[in-house]
Amino acid sequence: MSNSNVFNHSYRNLHIPIDAPLELKPSPGKGWGAFATRPITQGTIVLKETPLFIIHKPHEAITEQDLWTAFQALPPRDKQLFLCIRDNPSTPFASMTGMFAENSFALTRPFGHGLFPLHSRINHSCLPNCKLPDPAEGTTTPGDGAITCFATKDIAYGEEITFCYNTDFECRTRDDRYRELRFACNCKACTLGTPFQLLSDMRRTLIRGLQYLTTGTDLDGQKDSSQTPLIVDPDLKKDAETMSIPLSNRLVYSLLSMALVEQEGLMDEFTVRRMNPAILLLASRFRDKQNAEIAGAAMGREMWTEKFGVAVEMFGRGDVGFEEMLSELGIAIG
């Protein structure tokens, strides 16, 4: 792209909130992207944006007519913005639904999908420095459908701002992620054949397996029935699916999963908000005095790797607490 085309690109006309620490400009190999205009501290709001419009339907049910109707209702300035997004690629989108699919985000309150011109310019990374947290991670969506992007790491001036496009990528290998994205990510975890990428695939596979052991289901919420099961030990797999894994082992698996997320560089306050309540509940259920002491000592450590290192001492130790909890919930064991 020539300098004159960059200078005159219609994205220059996108209105960026005055308090948003970012600018839009070309990102090598990625089209356009968002870059920090000043240092951004972890936990800071990077961008809050209200959608251009919302289609109150599931993604697969949205039609060209739905989008045409929404477009016609826009004021003139927003119509120009819509056309700017539609015609952005070197080869314009073949359909309005294709454009909308690439530039919209799912909403829960109100239900539907919203078109977000600015957030759509933020590129993907499997090792992101920002996040769009969901309600399960301690945030709420306002009634106007606005979404907010937070920094999950300190971001330097001039650094590209990125977030992960899929919520379960922490459990997927590079090849799995590539199939989902339909484009090649060039982050550190995707640089094929490097020591970090190979270790990253191992970590993410282990996280997926550990989640299966603690929930009894795979990422789709279903039991694994593939020819190459995630949990190769049939007895262990059955124990996971029938919630028969001992409480001590469940706590160790949970803490190991969090330690792997931490080592992968994906730990953030929103993940902690989502996962910590269940882990604290597990740690509080022990009736055996020694188990309770170990669990308490583990949860008192600061880093998740340290928590796991303490808790592993109880691996394989029995405790009646978990059975009592299941009985209270009306769940039979075995």
Q: Which strands form 123-124's sheet, in the order they lie side by side?
A: 22-27, 31-36, 160-163, 123-124
- pLDDT band for 99, please (50, 70, 90 cuts): confident
What does the pLDDT read at residue 4? Answer: 37
- pLDDT band for 197, please (50, 70, 90 cuts): very high
Query: What pLDDT, in 10s, does the model give residues 118-155?
Result: 998 899 999 999 999 875 554 555 567 889 999 999 99
pTM above 0.75, yes or no: yes
The Cα–Cα gap between 176 and 280 comes to 31
Output the average pLDDT for the chain: 87
What does the pLDDT read at residue 318? Answer: 77
Query: What pLDDT, in 10s, does the model give residues 167-187?
Result: 899 999 999 999 998 788 999
Q: How many CB atoms lie within 10 A of CB 167?
A: 14
The answer to whether residues 276 and 283 touch, using CB atoms and an 8 Å cutoff, is no
Q: Is the pLDDT of residue 69 over 90?
A: yes
User: Which whole number is the average pLDDT over 92-121?
Assistant: 84
Q: How many CB atoms lie within 10 A of CB 26?
A: 15
The answer to whether residues 52 and 116 touch, using CB atoms and an 8 Å cutoff, is yes
What does the pLDDT read at residue 260? Answer: 97
**Alpha-carbon radius of gyration of the chain:** 23
Query: What pLDDT, in 10s, does the model give residues 4-49?
Result: 344 445 666 678 888 999 999 888 888 789 999 999 999 999 999 9
For 147, which DSSP code? E
What does the pLDDT read at residue 13? Answer: 67
- Domain limits of the chain? 10-165, 195-329
- The SS3 assignment for 105 reads strand
Is residue 16 left, alpha or beta, with left meaning phi > 0 and alpha meaning psi from -120 to 50? beta
Q: Is the pLDDT of residue 90 over 60?
A: no
The answer to whether residues 36 and 27 touch, using CB atoms and an 8 Å cutoff, is no
CA 113, 270, 321, 306 dihedral sign is positive
Name which of 76-90, 192-206, 296-310 the model is least confident about.
76-90
- The SS3 assignment for 184 reads coil
Q: Which CATH superfamily is domain 10-165 in?
A: SET domain (2.170.270.10)
Q: What percent of the chain has pLDDT over 90?
A: 62
Q: What is the DSSP string of 280-314?
A: HHHHH---SHHHHHHHHHHHTSSSHHHHHHHHGGG
Is residue 20 left, alpha or beta, with left meaning phi > 0 and alpha meaning psi from -120 to 50? beta
| Residue 187 C-beta-side C-alpha neighbours within 13 Å | 21
What does the pLDDT read at residue 7? Answer: 41
Q: Which helix (DSSP H) or strand (DSSP E) does residue 205 occupy? A: helix 195-215
Residue tagged 């060209």 (tokens): 64
- Closest by CA position to 189, among listed 218, 219, 169: 169
Q: Is the pLDDT of residue 71 over 60?
A: yes
Query: What pLDDT, in 10s, does the model give residues 293-316?
Result: 999 999 999 999 999 999 999 998
The Cα–Cα gap between 175 and 317 comes to 37
